[in-house]
Structure 1
Amino acid sequence: MPFRHFEFEGLNMQWKALAVVSTMLIAGCSTSHIKPYSSADVAKAEGEENRLWHSADRYEKQLKNSSRVYGNETLQVYLQGIMDKLYPEFKGNIRVYVLKQPVLNAFALPNGGVYVNTGLIAAMENEAQLAAVLAHEGIHYINRHSMKQREVRKMTSAFATATMLAGFPLLGSVGLASTVTGYSRDLEREADDEGYIRLVEAGYDPSQSTVAFEALAREARASEVKRPMFFSTHPAMEERIEHFQKLQEKDDKVRGKDIHADRYQSHVEHLRKEVLKNKLETGRYSEIIATFEAPSQEALYDETDQYILAEAFRMRDKVDDKGKAIALYKELMTFDENYAPPYKAMGLLSYKEKDFSQAKVFLKKYLELEPESTDGPFIKQYLEML
């Protein structure tokens, strides 16, 4: 279930052309001879699939040698436990790792490596919601979707022609085309359906699958990327939400109750704060604001996290944003008069508005509370100009 964003303005017809021709090629290529793994004992690659696994092994090695892997062993053990609960017969074969990325993404490699971004983990409200995502990714592995996709893409010359006609000559190679189009619509639906069964069998409340995708859709809409899209061959997000709702109606009598919200929060609380800060640093202001606008999400953060929200309003600087930021800063000062950050923010805002007397009061208070702050010299320069 890759969540990737592209900014190709004015290329709607080209994307549609690529989607149509790709779908025709996939429909015309049977992969019924590629059977799912039945247990961990037979989850071994041979021939061409073995080459896929080796490529995945090399990619995993690169990831682990980079700074992208989130190095929290306790969290990794916890997430691995969820996956093992969903796929007990594949324990040791499906391995879960976390990547330090604020964007919504999760993907499964053909060798059983499953990677989940910190941004997606933070967007989930409880264990059952993340389990829905992990269940989906696990199906991509055990049903050998990478191999099935490779078989379809063997029609390289036809696919290259399709991409060139659609206006994407650089995507003519099988590998590059796969990074854009991802799994086919049918394979994504298969992962949704069979992942849902795993979720139910593990005792989780399956209604959380719908809530999970609603949360992902909400944040995707808030993204400031001009053309957010889940690959053109994937079911639209709204369609997937409706599909999960229908699955729940069908299995209403067989429903688990496990959500484990408190347990999940205890493991990801610090991560949530890190993701908020990362989004602020990378200019994802609307995503931060959308998070706090959802009541169920807002409850997952404490009062001091409201400072990040205030900063998002201040930096986004749309109509009424400044007033909202100021109101939040004042609330924070009332909540804890010794919490320094809002004094600095109010001081800088007052300075910008040429209210120098107020700026002086706020900035002096900030230095009083944080005399050893790294930005102390910078603040002192402001005070010298007042």
Structure 2
Amino acid sequence: MPRVLRPRAKGLALLAAAVLAAAPAGAQPRAPHLRPAETSDEGGIWALSEKAELAARQSAERNRDPALNAYVAGIIAKLAPEYQGDIRVYVMDRPFFNAQMAANGYGEVWSSVLLRAQSEDELAYVLGHEIGHFSENHSIESYRSLKARLGATMVLQAVVTVAAAGAAVNAGSAQGATDIMRAASAVSDLIYLGQLAAYFGYSRENESEADALGFKRAVAAGYDPAAGAAIWRSLMAETEASSFKRVREQQARPNVFNTHPLSVERVKALDDMAAKSPVKASTSDRKAYRAMIRPHLAVWLKDDLRRRDYGQSLVLIDRLSTQGEDLGVLTFYRAEAYRQRRGEGDLELARKAYAEAGAHADAPIAAWRCLGDLSLQAGDRAAAKTAYETYLARAPQAQDRWLVEASLKKLSEGSAT
């Protein structure tokens, strides 16, 4: 049964609805090479962004590979030639899919994005999306929106509290006063949650706009129109395979506090744009893209496993393997995922994967050590001995050599008895 509000509460609810409907005006598109006045809203945000940029430059997580950073900068130059010198994007070695850009042009792209993109086209779409946020001043729009809404919220909540207190004093009974204060609390909560919902909804509009602007920039630079939807489909496949139920269900549970559009809606919008695009082919080379990230592949995969979402990591490794390259590294980390997950049958899957990795020239040397350990655990002494001996032959200076030699000695003694 719906709660019946007293006349005073009804009036406050109507006032709340009026405030929630009020939205701040958006900022104008950004002109190149301009710096805001220090006393302006944007000037204050720039000051904070510059501090964050300094921290990023000095961070131990910053990837300092000159070739990789030059490659990312080159994509930015293709996508936003008018903002040359305005945008600076840092590659950060972090195992989560994220890219961001601040009001002053400082941006980050995390290694998980580069690991999951299968081509320069897909990476260009992600970077184009962030440039869309930058060009349309979305950060300053969001700041002003939140500032205006929270300001109105605090004022309105104060009005609700004062009015309710006055009504409670004049109430005919203690119970009546309590009812009034509870009603006031409910309305106050409604105002606050409504303001937050309106703010996050506003952000979703910005995300959709950034998608469209990034798409337009990517296509203008000659990138594949299908790349934007492709990378989101890959992420959706990973989400569906997640080891965690809450992750698997997240894209099927829309709520007012989701800042990004639902993946299915996003993919459909991008597919619709691609269908209307005059550009139909990619200008980038997938092998060239893989060559660029290859020096970091092992480190990034190791970091990805630290998230302990082995379902997602295995789908990622399968996708990376479709090009038929880096199979030693990829199969080794598939084995690592099985070994660390330790589900039913996983250790045997890991043992087979380590052995498969060893058949490729690029397999990490640790594959033979791990194969020896799991073979010994499985009771396959001959396979363990062969794996350990191969490991020592390939890594004569290994720090754990003494441990492996001790294991070999026990295997030999066991064979003798």
Q: TM-score range by the shorter chain?
A: 0.7 to 0.9
Superposed, which structure 2 residues align to 1:22-101 within 5 Å? Answer: 28-32=22-26, 34-37=27-30, 39-42=31-34, 44=36, 47-101=40-94
- 1:67 shift after superposition: 0.4
Indicate the residue corresponding to 2:8 in structure 1.
Answer: none
Match of 1:190, as an amino acid?
E
1:123 equivalent in alignment to 2:149: no
Deviation at 1:303, TM superposition (A): 2.6
Which moves more between the two structures, 356-365 or 324-333? Answer: 356-365
- 1:19-39 residue CA offsets vs partner (Å, 9 max, x unmatched): xxxxx988631323x1011x3
Aligned to 1:328: 353
Deviation at 1:137, TM superposition (A): 0.1
2:241 counterpart of 1:249: no
Structure 1 residue 235 and structure 2 residue 261: aligned? Answer: yes
Give 2:127's aligned residue: 134
Distance in 2, matches of 1:209 and 1:193, equals 10
**Contact 1:106 1:137 (C-alpha < 8 Å) held by counterparts:** yes
Residue 299 (structure 1) aligned with residue 292 (structure 2):
no
Identity of aligned residues (%): 28
- Residues 245 and 359 of structure 1: is their aligned pair in 2 closer, same or farther, counting only changes over 3 Å? same
Q: Does 1:156 align with 2:175?
A: no
Q: How much has 1:124 moved relative to structure 2?
A: 0.4
Cα deviations across residues 245-277 of structure 1 (Å, max 9, x unaligned)?
0111223x3445323323322221212222112
| Aligned partner of residue 114 in structure 1, secondary structure | strand
SS of aligned partner of 1:122:
helix
Deviation at 1:329, TM superposition (A): 2.6
Unpaired segments ≥5 residues, structure 2: 1-17, 158-184, 252-256, 412-417
Partner of 2:228: 209
CA change 1:357–1:258 in 2 (3 A) is closer
Query: What displacement does 1:89 show?
Result: 0.8
Change (3 A) 1:84 1:291: same
Structure 2 letter corresponding to 1:267: M
Aligned partners of 1:153, 1:310: CA distance in 2, in Å? 47
| Residues 27 and 199 of structure 1, relative CA distance in 2, 3 Å threshold | farther
Q: Is the 8 A contact 1:286 1:316 kept in 2?
A: no
TM-score (norm 1): 0.80
CA distance in 1, matches of 2:151, 2:280: 47
TM-score by length of 2: 0.74
Greater C-alpha Rg: 2
The answer on 1:143 being equivalent to 2:162 is no
Mapping of residues 347-366 of structure 1, within 5 Å? 347-356=372-381, 358-366=383-391
Which secondary structure state, in structure 1, belongs to the residue aligned with residue 399 of structure 2?
A: coil
User: Unpaired segments of 5 or more residues in structure 1?
Assistant: 1-23
Any idea what SS the aligned residue of 2:109 has?
strand
State whether residues 26 and 184 of structure 1, in contact with CA within 8 Å, keep that contact through their aligned partners in structure 2: no
Aligned-partner SS, 2:33: helix
Answer yes or no: is the 8 Å Cα contact 2:112–2:300 preserved in 1. Answer: yes
Map 1:178-197 → 2, pairs under 5 A: 184-197=203-216
CA distances 1:320-368 after superposition (whole Å, capped 9, x unpaired): 3233223223323444699743332222113323444543443244223
321 and 52 in structure 1: CA distance in 2 versus 1, 3 angstrom threshold: same
- 1:314 pairs with 2:306: no
SS in 1 for 2:396: coil
Q: What RMSD, in angstroms, separates the aligned Cα atoms of the two structures?
A: 3.4
Task: Decide whether the 8 Å contact of 2:117 with 2:231 is kept in 1.
Answer: yes
| Worse overlay, 53-62 or 341-350 | 341-350
Match of 1:378 in 2: 403
Contact kept, 8 Å, 1:310 with 1:325, in 2: the verdict is: yes
Of structures 1 and 2, the one with the larger relative CO (CA 8 A, separation 6+) is 1
Question: Which letter does structure 1 place at the counterpart of 2:349?
Answer: K
Give the SS at the match of 1:227.
Answer: helix
Contact 1:350 1:356 in 2 (8 A): yes
Count of residues in correspondence between the two structures: 352
Counterpart secondary structure, 1:235: coil
Structure-2 separation of matches of 1:85 and 1:334: 40
Task: Check conservation: 2:329, 2:363, Cα contact below 8 A.
Answer: no
Aligned equivalent of 1:111: 104
Aligned match for 1:258, one of 280, 283, 293: 283
Deviations 1:364-384 (A, max 9, x none): 442233232122223234345
Q: Once the 2 structures are TM-superposed, how far is the Cα of residue 191 of structure 1 from its aligned partner? A: 0.3
**1:19 is matched with which residue?**
none
Separation in 2, partners of 1:109, 1:337: 39
Q: Tell me, in whole angstroms, the C-alpha distance in 2 between the residues paired with 1:182 and 1:100.
A: 31
SS in 2 for 1:107: strand
Listed one character per residue, the Cα deviations across residues 216-250 of structure 1 (whole Å, up to 9, x for unaligned) are 33334444455345861321112101110011122
Select between 186-195 and 43-52 the one with higher mean Cα deviation: 43-52
Q: Quick check: 2:101–2:108 contact (8 Å CA) kept in 1? A: yes
Q: 1:55 to 1:292 in 2, by over 3 A?
A: same
